[in-house]
Amino acid sequence: MGRTISILGSTGSIGETTLRVLRFLKDEYRTYGIACGANLGLLGRQIAEFRPAVVAVASSAAAASDEYGALKRSHPEVEFLDGDAGVAELAGRSVDVLVSAIVGAAGLGPTLAGIGRARRIALANKETLVMAGDIVAARLPGSGTELIPVDSEHSAAFSLLRGLDPGEVARIVLTASGGSLRSLPLEELGSVTPERALAHPTWDMGSKITIDSATLMNKGLEVIEAHHLFAMPYDRIDVLVHPESIVHAMVETNDGALYAHMGVADMAFPVLAALAHPERRRNDFGRLRLEEVGRLTFSAVDGRRYPALALCYAAGRRGGTLPAVLNAANEAAVGAFLGGRLSFTGIVRVVEKAIERAAVVDDPTLEDILAVDREAREFAERTIAGKQ
């Protein structure tokens, strides 16, 4: 019957890519469970194709809809779970692989629920480690669960670090495309529309991550994630802007050698790497032709264009609950920008204000982190509304 797999966020970009990889792997995996937010149309097509035993729908509005009722009636063989609690219950069911691909802080609880229940968590939800990296680090040993990164940069660094003694590593370099606005004059950033910011030049991603790419907040969150994944000090994690998105990460060893992981910009590769680890599986997802690329360019991050990156380094170094504050305020601000309630440059200003007023809790519990998350979102919304 193959190994069992559950996919959290199955209707999102990474979830869809995971299902594309499962089509390639054919009979090697049996889809036990899938979870989505509210995209019931796509969910129905996924149920028909992959025949999961369990389905979870996070949105209470979607779960109360006539469309959901019809979907349940048409699939009496499927166990349906509703709401965030239903997603967490699915995540806590025993499987060989749990793909954690829910966007944002909503993925934290389900990912934690999977520790000790899934043999492997393929982690595409960076917020889990941004908000609660120390808690994850404390729970993993002895749990029987291994954590494999799915973000393209962390997957690349993970691959490069295999076989290296930690003492041999001088630094990790994460690359950033620079996002959709990398060539726009600085004075025009304040008037950017969501449609313009969502036009990413190299990656096909969800709307929230695409905006985070444009501010470089996404890369800053990945710096915090890399710190926890690889136990790497912040002063040994660097970021370079690399518009071609061919080099996904680099590792420098103590002797001065710089090793680069290169590949085409398709998330199928890191997903496959996480599912097949430790094998390097031959696949049909394309091959990199450097003679067609022509050239690779790199540049330092311009702090005037991308002030979010410095905020992330500062929050990561301070630790405690401050990264959770940063993440929550950013999620609220990005949502306001996409909804037309905040300017593009206002995103980072809101996050900065939330960080400035935050009372940091050191060595936080999960309850502390969730409380800070709520407070930071409320503060961000008041700030956006002009009440702070």
pLDDT in tens, 21-48: 999 998 899 999 999 999 999 999 999 9
pLDDT score at 312: 98
Is 372 inside any structural domain?
no
Q: What is the pTM of this model?
A: 0.95
Phi-psi region of 61 (alpha: psi -120 to 50; beta: other; left: phi over 0): alpha
* 296: pLDDT strictly greater than 80: yes
Nearest 10 degrees: Cα torsion 231, 237, 243, 247? -50
On the question of pLDDT at 201 being above 90, the answer is no
Nearest to 213 by CA among 263, 260, 176, 265: 176
pLDDT digits (tens, 9 = 90+) for 115-140: 999 999 999 999 999 999 999 999 99
The CATH code of the domain that includes 40 is: 3.40.50.720
* pLDDT tens per residue, range 1-27: 689 999 999 999 999 999 999 999 988
pLDDT, the chain, mean: 96
The predicted-structure confidence for 301-325, as pLDDT tens digits, reads as follows: 999 999 999 999 999 999 999 999 9
> What's the CA angle centered on 208, arms 188 and 122, to 5 degrees?
140
In DSSP notation, 241-258 reads E-TT--EEEEEEETTS-E
pLDDT given at position 45: 98
In a domain, 113, yes or no: yes
Which pLDDT band holds residue 254 (cuts at 50, 70, 90)?
A: very high
Residue with tokens 């129905």: 44
pLDDT band per the 50, 70, 90 thresholds, residue 205? confident
Q: Which domain holds residue 32?
A: 3-149
254, burial (CB in 10 Å: exposed 0-12, middle 13-18, buried 19+): exposed
Q: What is the mean pLDDT of residues 287-300?
A: 96
Confidence of residue 202 (pLDDT cuts 50, 70, 90): confident
Does residue 154 lie in a domain region? no
> What is the reported pLDDT for 388?
57
Domain assignment present for 170 = no
- Tens of pLDDT, residue by residue over 228-240, are 999 999 999 999 9
Q: Is residue 32 part of a domain?
A: yes
Residue 133 lies in a domain: yes
The per-residue pLDDT for 294 is: 95
Domain count, the chain: 1
For residues 172-191, give the mean pLDDT.
96
Domain-embedded: residue 17: yes
